[in-house]
C-alpha cells in the first residue's frame, strides 16, 4: 500500500535515508560519500523542507503496517540563465527512492514511481528526471526498465599535484 507522508513517519524516513546512505558508502569507489554524525537528524528535515518549497511530495510504501520504502519528488525549478539554452519544460524530479533491503523484489519501487508519476501529471509536468549514483548499477537497471534514459553524465577525475594524470 502507498500512503502520503505524515509527520508520524519521520523516524521511518530517517531510517530509510540512513539505510540508503550506508549502501552508497559501500559502493562508492571514490570514497567521497560520508555518513556525517548529523545526517540522521538533519537530512530528512532538509529533504522534507525542499519538498515543501517546491510543490513536492513524499510517498511511503507500507507492508504489514510498516514503512518499507519511500519516494520523494518535487517540481523542478529553473534559473533565468536556463532559459537561454533550454526549453525548460515543466518537470518533476525524483530526489529519493529507497526500498528497504528486506523488502526488495515486491514491485514496491514500481508502485512508488507510478504514484509519483501520477502526482507529476496532476501538476502538468511533461517529464520526470532522476539523478542516479553512477556506481548504483541496480538502480540504473531499474530506472532503465521504467523507461528512463541517460541525458547527461557527470565525469570526474582525481587530480593530485606532482602526479601525472593520464
pLDDT digits (tens, 9 = 90+) for 30-57: 999 999 999 999 999 999 999 999 999 9
Residue 163 sits at φ, ψ, to 5 deg, of: -110, 140
d(CA 47, CA 10): 11
Within its chain, how far is the Cα of 99 from the centroid? 11
Residue listed under C-alpha cell 504489514: 64
Q: Domain 2-145, CATH 3.40.50.720 — does that match? A: no
Residue (of 73, 7, 72, 16) closest to 39 by Cα position: 16
Residue spans per domain, the chain: 2-145
Residue (of 134, 129, 100) closest to 24 by Cα position: 134
Going by DSSP bridges, is the β-strand pair 66-75/2-4 parallel, antiparallel, or unpaired? unpaired
d(CA 146, CA 131): 14
pLDDT in tens, the chain (166 residues): 999 999 999 999 999 999 999 999 999 999 999 999 999 999 999 999 999 999 999 999 999 889 999 999 999 988 888 878 888 788 999 999 999 999 988 999 999 999 999 999 999 999 999 999 888 998 999 999 999 999 888 888 888 876 665 5
DSSP 160: -
Q: Model-level pTM?
A: 0.86
Amino acid at each position: 500500500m502507498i500512503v502520503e507522508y505524515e509527520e508520524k513517519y519521520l523516524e521511518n524516513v530517517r531510517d530509510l535515508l540512513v539505510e540508503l546512505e550506508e549502501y552508497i558508502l559501500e559502493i562508492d569507489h571514490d570514497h567521497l560519500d560520508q555518513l556525517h554524525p548529523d545526517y540522521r537528524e538533519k537530512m530528512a528535515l532538509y529533504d522534507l523542507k525542499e519538498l515543501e518549497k517546491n510543490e513536492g511530495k513524499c510517498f511511503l510504501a507500507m507492508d504489514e503496517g510498516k514503512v518499507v520504502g519511500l519516494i520523494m519528488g518535487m517540481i523542478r525549478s529553473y534559473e533565468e540563465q536556463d532559459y537561454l539554452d533550454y526549453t525548460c519544460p515543466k518537470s518533476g524530479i525524483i530526489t529519493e527512492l529507497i526500498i528497504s533491503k528486506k523488502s526488495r523484489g515486491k514491485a514496491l519501487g514500481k508502485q512508488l514511481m507510478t504514484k509519483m508519476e501520477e502526482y507529476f501529471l496532476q501538476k502538468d509536468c511533461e517529464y520526470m528526471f532522476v539523478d542516479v549514483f553512477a556506481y548504483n548499477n541496480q538502480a540504473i537497471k531499474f530506472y532503465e526498465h521504467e523507461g528512463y534514459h541517460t541525458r547527461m553524465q557527470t565525469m570526474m577525475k582525481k587530480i593530485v599535484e606532482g602526479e601525472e594524470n593520464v
